[in-house]
Structure 1
Amino acid sequence: MNYIEKTGRTVDEAVESALKEMNLTRDQVEVEVLEEPTKGLFGILGGKPARVRVMKKDSPSERARELLEKVMQTMNLNVDIEVNEKNEKILININGPDLGILIGRRGETLDALQYLVNLSSNKNMEKRKRILIDIEGYRKRREETLKKLAYKLADKARQRGRNVVLEPMNSMERRIIHTALQDREDIYTFSEGEEPYRKIIIAPKK
């Protein structure tokens, strides 16, 4: 049951009774006061207790799954959605045939989908969780591609003695490049420009 109605001498007492029965904490529910308590004649006769409806909030992971299922259904895509929570992160893997349309050019569609799911799933939540979405292992493959590109362009910058400017990337992909090259002693990396056109510069050390 996602909600329960309870009565008590006070609103707080009714809410606590509902929380105990649902085995939930106050921040996991929404409370609707159906009736405020009233005192009867001389404070004894004819009084009415408080009555509340306590509803369980959907968690960010539940919201994310529901939203993605609706998107997939609208697009007539047959997929398997796997959701795993790790501390403050929610990892979502989507698997199925012909999902290139969800990835887009260099993952742009996937990044947009991830942004919207984060925005919607964390709305009005006291504790926000970062949601990471992957499709058919795309992000891992993209990471390996970026690392190889980083090594190749670092060698180019060192050999030519000139800066090499990469194409604009999102913050996640820039972090992969910076991390891949952070231990190189012959070059260094930095970013310049404004989002969404911010790019990495690989520069040889003099």
Structure 2
Amino acid sequence: MNIKIREKQFEGKSIDLAFDEAVKYYDASPEEIGFEVIQQPKKGFLGIGNKLAIINAFLNEKYLMNRLNEFLCSLLEHFDGDFDYSINFQGKNILVRLEGDGLGKLIGKYGRTIGAMQHILSIYINRLSSTKIDVNLDVGEYRRKKKEKIYEIVDNAIKRLNDENERIELAPMFSYERRIVHEYVRRNYSHIMTESIGLEPYRKVVIKLTKSHIKA
């Protein structure tokens, strides 16, 4: 994952000194800052033609991971339970897994709490990053089980499609659930189309036959 946040050029008599300026400017640990060398320092003759070192420094994914870790800790303090979690980068995606006791409170009725928490984490991390990042939160494998349930709902809905019943509206879903529907149908049903309609929090997916499969 190559994320660059708040890029800025810094100068110094050496690469190390230029990097020290970047550390002071960002007020971050050295591990949270990446850089690229724009210009190597050069000593001229009798002080003529001297060149400073120039680097392009930026906050990296380590910075994002540390900030997200701190933010997630502050959120979990509002829930009773003993939780363990891991944060992993996968391309431009962040996967957060939560395990432990008291997971039911984190999931919430119909998964509303986990959906809201994922939304909050996504807003937080994307305010820090200039690169769009998707955050996926899974609590006790709830997401995997939820995904299997969504597949079942979609399969059953598609079985009911026919010439008289050309479209079926699913119940309102969170955005990540709608994305699962769209991707699943695109992968497995070439003759089926999907689209999202309505306004949050009542936005839903419509499943319908393609025009080529509707009899004239």
Q: Write out per-residue CA displacement over residues 92-115 of structure 1, whole angstroms, 9 at most, x where no aligned residue.
A: 100012211111233221121112
- 1:190 is matched with 195
1:1-16 matches, within 5 Å, as 12-13=11-12
Q: Helix, strand or coil for the counterpart of 1:190?
A: strand
Quote how far apart the aligned CAs of 1:13 are: 2.9
Q: Write out per-residue CA displacement over residues 11-53 of structure 1, whole angstroms, 9 at most, x where no aligned residue.
A: 94389645646xxx94996159xxxxxxxxxxxxxxxxxxxxx
- Structure 1 pair 100/119, CA: closer, same or farther in 2 (3 Å)? same
Residue 171 (1) aligns with residue 175 (2): yes
- Structure 1 pair 69/124, CA: closer, same or farther in 2 (3 Å)? closer
Whether contact under 8 Å (1:85, 1:91) holds in the other structure is: yes
Unaligned regions of 5+ residues in structure 1, if any? 1-10, 33-55
Cα distance in 1 for partners of 2:135, 2:126 equals: 9
- Name the TM-score, length of structure 2 as normaliser: 0.64
In structure 1, which of residues 191, 202, 205 is the aligned counterpart of residue 207 of structure 2?
Answer: 202
- 1:3 is matched with none
Whether contact under 8 Å (2:64, 2:128) holds in the other structure is: no
Unaligned regions of 5+ residues in structure 2, if any? 1-9, 29-58
Across the two proteins, how many residue pairs are aligned to each other? 170
How many percent of aligned residue pairs carry the same amino acid? Answer: 24
Residue 81 (1) aligns with residue 85 (2): yes
Residue 94 (1) aligns with residue 94 (2): no
- 2:26 is matched with 30
- 1:53 is matched with none
Cα distance in 1 for partners of 2:142, 2:162 equals: 30
Whether contact under 8 Å (1:60, 1:122) holds in the other structure is: no
- Structure 1 pair 86/19, CA: closer, same or farther in 2 (3 Å)? farther
Quote how far apart the aligned CAs of 1:125 are: 3.8
Whether contact under 8 Å (1:90, 1:129) holds in the other structure is: yes
- Name the TM-score, length of structure 1 as normaliser: 0.67
For the pair shown, which has the larger CA radius of gyration, 1 or 2?
1
In structure 2, which of residues 46, 70, 73 is the aligned counterpart of residue 69 of structure 1?
Answer: 73
- 2:112 is matched with 108
Cα distance in 2 for partners of 1:28, 1:104 equals: 43
Cα distance in 1 for partners of 2:149, 2:163 equals: 21
